[in-house]
Amino acid sequence: MNIKVSAIFVCALCAFVASVTPASGQLTKENVQSEFKKYNSMQSKQILENIFSRKSVRHFTGKVVSKDDLTMVVKAGMAAPTGKNMQPWEFLAVNDPERIFAIAESMGKTNPMSARTGAMIKEAGAVIVVCGRPDVSHNWMLDCAAATENILLAIESMGMGAVWTAAWPYEDRLAATTEAFGLPEDVVPLCVIPVGYPKYEKAPMDKWKPEKLHFDKW
């Protein structure tokens, strides 16, 4: 799918299209595609379908994700909006299987939530840590969150899967992540993203709630 990754996050903010919802609360491919027939631009259809197809993937085949693919998804992350163009982000990408296993083992020996992340990392073909620089911007977490969404959408568009696992603002998870990945003291990990090729098919969840959209006045 040929998508201009720099446009993904803007489109994500603008998308408000209702979907036909199965009883399970999940979206099928047919539901997703039928909603966007009115958007005649092929690029618009592709971007909107990608946004609504994104899902959290927690189980992977273990196939290694290439450095070229990791570079592309991080480029997508860096195309995100950033206040005053401060770009207070740093990214650590790991795709070496031995290193991934060691990180997963380290995470598994800490608190329960970090151990859960470690279990997902152990199956992944790569892992990305999105880090912020508080010394660059006190709004680093906002910019890094925007970058993370771009990364997740880029991963979805490339036929892979991923899940956002939080490190910040939990002190125990911050400590576990910093130690496992050997992060420097001047960065704060916002999240850890296990990345890979999905082990199972998974439908995206339908999160559209029309009562949460307010036109003209509250």
Query: Do residues 156 and 50 lie in contact, with contact meaning Cβ atoms separated by under 8 Å?
Result: yes
173 within domain boundaries: yes
174 within domain boundaries: yes
Q: What is the pLDDT along the chain (218 residues), one digit of tens a residue?
A: 444 444 443 344 344 333 334 445 666 666 666 665 666 677 787 899 999 999 999 999 999 999 999 999 999 999 999 999 999 999 999 999 999 999 999 999 999 999 999 999 999 999 999 999 999 999 999 999 999 999 999 999 999 999 999 999 999 999 999 999 999 999 999 999 999 999 999 999 999 999 999 999 99
Identify whether residues 124 and 36 lie together within a single domain.
no
| Total number of domains constituting the chain | 2
Identify whether residues 107 and 87 lie together within a single domain.
yes
What distances in angstroms separate CA 152 from CA 22, 24, 26, 116, one per listed residue? 24, 24, 19, 19
28 within domain boundaries: yes
pLDDT of residue 42: 72
Identify whether residues 107 and 157 lie together within a single domain.
yes
160 within domain boundaries: yes
What CATH number has the domain bearing residue 101?
A: 3.40.109.10
Let me know the angle formed at the C-alpha of 52 by 214 and 13, rounded to the nearest 5 degrees: 45
Give the Cα separation of 11 and 56 in Å (integer): 19
3-class SS at 153? helix
Identify whether residues 98 and 27 lie together within a single domain.
no
Identify whether residues 72 and 162 lie together within a single domain.
yes
Give the Cα separation of 76 and 9 in Å (integer): 9
- DSSP states of 55-80 as a string? -B---B--PPPPHHHHHHHHHHHHTS
Give the Cα separation of 75 and 72 in Å (integer): 5
Identify whether residues 184 and 144 lie together within a single domain.
yes
- Which residue range is the domain that position 10 belongs to? 5-55+203-212
pLDDT digits (tens, 9 = 90+) for 39-91: 667 778 789 999 999 999 999 999 999 999 999 999 999 999 999 999 999 99
183 within domain boundaries: yes
Backbone angles phi, psi at 5, to 5 degrees: -65, -25
Identify whether residues 21 and 104 lie together within a single domain.
no
74 within domain boundaries: yes
Give the Cα separation of 81 and 2 in Å (integer): 21
62 within domain boundaries: no
Identify whether residues 176 and 75 lie together within a single domain.
yes
